[in-house]
Amino acid sequence: MILESGYSVLNGSLFNNYNDGIIIVNAEGFIKDINQKACEMLSIYRREVINESFNRTFQDLLQLDNLTDNTIYVNDYCLSVKVIPTPFGTNILLENRSYIEEISSNIFDNNMNNIVKLLNSSDDGLSIVDRDGIIIHANKTLLHNLEIASKEVIGRVSTSLVSNGIINEVTFRHVLRNKKKVDLKQVVTRRKNRLLTTAVPILSPKGEIEYIVSTSRDLNRMQQISRTANKTTLIAPKRSTNEVDDFIKMLRNEGNVIESKSMVDAFIKIKKVKDTEAPVLLIGETGAGKEVFANTLHEKGLRKNRAYIKVNCGAIPSELLESELFGYEDGAFTGAKKGGKKGLFELANGGTIFLDEITTLSLPLQSKLLRVLQEHEIMRIGGAKTIKIDTRIIAAANDLDKKLKNGEFREDLYYRLNVVQIKIPPLRDRPEDIAQLVTQYTTRLNLKYNKNVSFSSSAMALLNLYTWPGNVRELINVIEKCVILSNKNIVDTSDLPEEINSDVVDNGEELEGLKEVLYKTEKALIEKSMLYYGSTRKAAKALGVSQPTIVRKLQQYADSSEITK
């Protein structure tokens, strides 16, 4: 199902205006979408949870591993949780049951006017039967779903709906027998429509059933929303009212971790320059992800269907690099291939060439590269004529300032390359990305090695505090090492490499008990995050825990008078 108007269905009445909360979770356990009602119920912002781990986001409330139909209480809401498995993962329906308590209160107060208002204001089918199964109230929605008039049901025994061929089953007998909430799938005989009905008993002070309040939902419509939401989230829109947000969202959906402001800003630059011919200079430490940025520039740009050549200049001996880049003619040197050879610039003609570690080029080669940038032409080794090329150049370096200062890199070449410079932040400067990176690569490596490993909250605390001199590349290495070597499913601090523990815990301190070290580490991390982000919600997101956990920890510290005021 291709939606020509992008997310029009997903953001329209079938999803965001639906009366229940809906959370779409993919097969990997990440939140792919959440509607406005769910955000309101859970007091969260949509942008803060999209592409986040469901278990981490709701770890003190809901967990996918043991998620079943049940009732939870949160933010003054009484929510009935419905789990709907799909081929894409899981859809979670949050139904507000708070009004049932309000109806119960009004029943015992004998306030029938309020009851009628509550019944008729709901988008659900609502009914009330007494202890004898007599239907005393039914709202317009339920009457519409059953295709009957009020006079056909009010004052009649609920089981007459079955005997009269209106519906296949009623909840009254089940609730009467079990004296607790019952969920029942019903079929409306006349239209073959299905309802999902939840019936809740209203008990007297003596514990006897006085009334039963039932709510009914159109199951066909719920499943239509489920299918629509899943299909829609898999398709990118053709146009957008907010192109930057959509570009970042697209990259996130493809598995890129872009949560920190510095990473968002860097990728916004990519968006602005991707469809131009301008050279781009990527500056970042080793392992920070320069190749990811280069790949995105090419794959999302106008040349995405043309050649893309990657060259690690530091990995090719300098005496061979010139012939690799520019090619050579027949007989250019001893051992030259008969008929000559095209260089990488020629092979990338019409496309893109990515020159990583460009500062390792010798000064003579830098001079030749400058000519390529100025004249858009190359000359093969041993050749007598120039060859016009149309190749976009992306260059990357991690020590450019030092090389310029020492005269080892030509300033004129620098100015030619530095039309657009994108600085890639080191991992230590974007701690809010660490938790998601750990989750993402742990999931991938578990699949690769057929393991089921995860990291404890204490281990995550140390990973967040570590300075990561090797950046993302080092993080992946640490995760892979833990997944391979771990003999248990939960990786704890003792399982982490020694350099991480020694970097976080001051080696000069006296050795303390593990609990004390972890407590101090966790406390320092939370304090640091609160100072950095200024809110419990942002701190919780960065640390990979729920907001209630942060609030609870801060209260514990305050009660112990251990946080400096």
> 């001051």: which residue's tokens?
506
| Cα→Cα distances 180→82, 103, 117, 157, 168, Å | 17, 17, 26, 20, 21
Cβ atoms 107, 211 nearer than 8 A: yes
**Nearest-angstrom CA–CA distance, 289 and 295:** 10
Q: Give yes or no on whether 99-224 and 431-559 have one common fold.
A: no
State the pLDDT at residue 400.
92
**Domain 99-224 class?**
alpha beta
pLDDT digits (tens, 9 = 90+) for 380-401: 988 889 999 999 999 999 999 9
State the pLDDT at residue 98.
61
pLDDT digits (tens, 9 = 90+) for 211-265: 888 878 776 665 555 454 444 443 333 333 334 478 888 898 888 888 888 899 9
Cβ atoms 264, 258 nearer than 8 A: yes
Overall fold of domain 431-559 = Helicase, Ruva Protein; domain 3 (1.10.8)
The dihedral through the CA atoms of 172, 177, 178, 180 has a sign that is positive
Cβ atoms 162, 168 nearer than 8 A: yes
Look at residue 93 and give its three-state secondary structure. strand
DSSP state of 279: -
State the pLDDT at residue 304.
93
Superfamily for domain range 243-425: P-loop containing nucleotide triphosphate hydrolases (3.40.50.300)
| Cα→Cα distances 169→10, 119, 176, 282, 347, Å | 33, 22, 14, 66, 71
State the pLDDT at residue 518.
65
Residues in Cβ contact with 16 at an 8 Å cutoff, skipping those fewer than 6 apart: 10, 35, 36, 37
Closest CA to 164 of 182, 146, 181, 144: 146
**Nearest-angstrom CA–CA distance, 100 and 117:** 13
State the pLDDT at residue 10.
37
List the beta bridge partners of residue 456.
none
- Helix or strand holding residue 109 (H, E): none
Domain boundaries in the chain? 21-95, 99-224, 243-425, 431-559
| Cα→Cα distances 403→49, 104, 361, Å | 42, 77, 11
* pTM for the whole structure: 0.51
DSSP state of 510: P
**Nearest-angstrom CA–CA distance, 116 and 120:** 6
Cβ atoms 198, 219 nearer than 8 A: no
| Cα→Cα distances 456→1, 152, 494, Å | 41, 59, 11
Cβ atoms 93, 85 nearer than 8 A: no
State the pLDDT at residue 110.
53
Tell me the average confidence (pLDDT) per consecutive run of 10 residues in the chain, 565 residues long. Answer: 30 56 83 84 81 80 66 72 72 73 55 54 74 83 81 83 83 80 77 76 78 76 52 36 67 86 92 94 94 95 94 90 91 78 93 95 94 93 91 94 93 94 92 86 91 84 86 94 91 87 53 58 72 70 73 74 43
**Domain 21-95 class?**
alpha beta
State the pLDDT at residue 244.
44
Residues in Cβ contact with 196 at an 8 Å cutoff, skipping those fewer than 6 apart: 82, 183, 184, 185, 186, 216, 217, 219, 222
